[in-house]
Structure 1
Amino acid sequence: MNNIRIIGGGLAGCEAAWQAAERGLAVELYEMKPARFSPAHESVKLAELVCSNSLRSNAVDSAVGLLKEEMRRCNSLIIRAADNTSVPAGGALAVDRKKFADTVTKAILEHRNITVIRQEITELSPADVPVILATGPLTSEAMTESLVTLTGEKHLAFYDAIAPIVAADSLDLNIIYRKSRWDDDNPGDYLNCPMTEEQYTRFIDLLGSGD
């Protein structure tokens, strides 16, 4: 059986591991958690979403929606998990973060051709098997330094955003209103919070200092 090594247990790494394993390859999937966490990660689960829980449009007449449909037809683990753990989001495919990560983690751990190794890889060194680097925008400093050495590039940048999670019982539903994202006829799945400029500025300040 041919081997392949994948570094990073996020969405891309898990999908790559799944597709390779389904084709009969012996997969070694390296994930640095729980030995080490990035500033944004909290869970030991694979495929942890730290940004938005939305995977964007599900409509096949959009590029991202068409890509999802193509992935469904290619037996995508990530899209199947997203479909099975989806939450209302209008025309978008959004997921329950915890259930999504649980679903992907379970599938990866139970696949007979995948071995998950909880170990941080800090450099890209010559290997006797194909290697997929899927560490994403939260690549560690050590791996970034290795990439700089390998590529000769001095300016490598990785960006990601963290979507704030707000407690539902802190929302005043007498002020907030439901509306669809694109103002169409679909039921409103998005909660909209009207604010003045002063209120918005204060909201941003409080958000930045929150837990």
Structure 2
Amino acid sequence: MTTTAKDLLHDYLRGAREALVWKTEGLSEYDVRRPLTPTGTNLLGLVKHLAVGESRYLGDVFGRPFEPYLPWWDDDQPEDVDMWATPEEGREEIIGIYRAASAHADETIRTLDLVATGYVPWWPSPHVTLHGVLVHVLSETSRHAGHADILREQLDGAAGMRAENSNLPERQQDSWNAYRAKVEAAAREAGK
């Protein structure tokens, strides 16, 4: 692995983070928190979950604890509290913690080589490298940014990786409706 490979992984991680945070912008406090799936998935919960993930995986694992300590994964906390925001936790607070955890993680990525070793006590094979952990965090962040994309589209139709320069084809609503109808017709035909 070269510095170029590390930079590429880091760039993708930064892009996924930006997409995730954008999904929370311009929504009411209710909409940014409300569960939109049967399992309770919600936008602010995804941000909170990834804040904990970055603080642990790209902090604690490499001997660089993030401050303030985030207790949301601790055994004495309410079940899955890292996946939703309590009424007392503000949106800006959670997003601020995510940005701070990301900045802390960025420093870990910048200062360590991809072959630097760490220890993940909750993994079956706990001895890891920065490369392996960076791929894991990128994968998790991208996965949850995809969840956020679907949640946001359900809320107000906003879709794509960014508000500007979307990665989706430019179409008018009539064109999207026709496209969706075509996909629906194909699904019905295949389901016969």
What TM-score results when the alignment is normalised by the length of structure 1? 0.23
Q: Over alpha carbons, which structure has the higher Rg?
A: 1
What TM-score results when the alignment is normalised by the length of structure 2? 0.24
User: Which of the two has greater strand per residue?
Assistant: 1
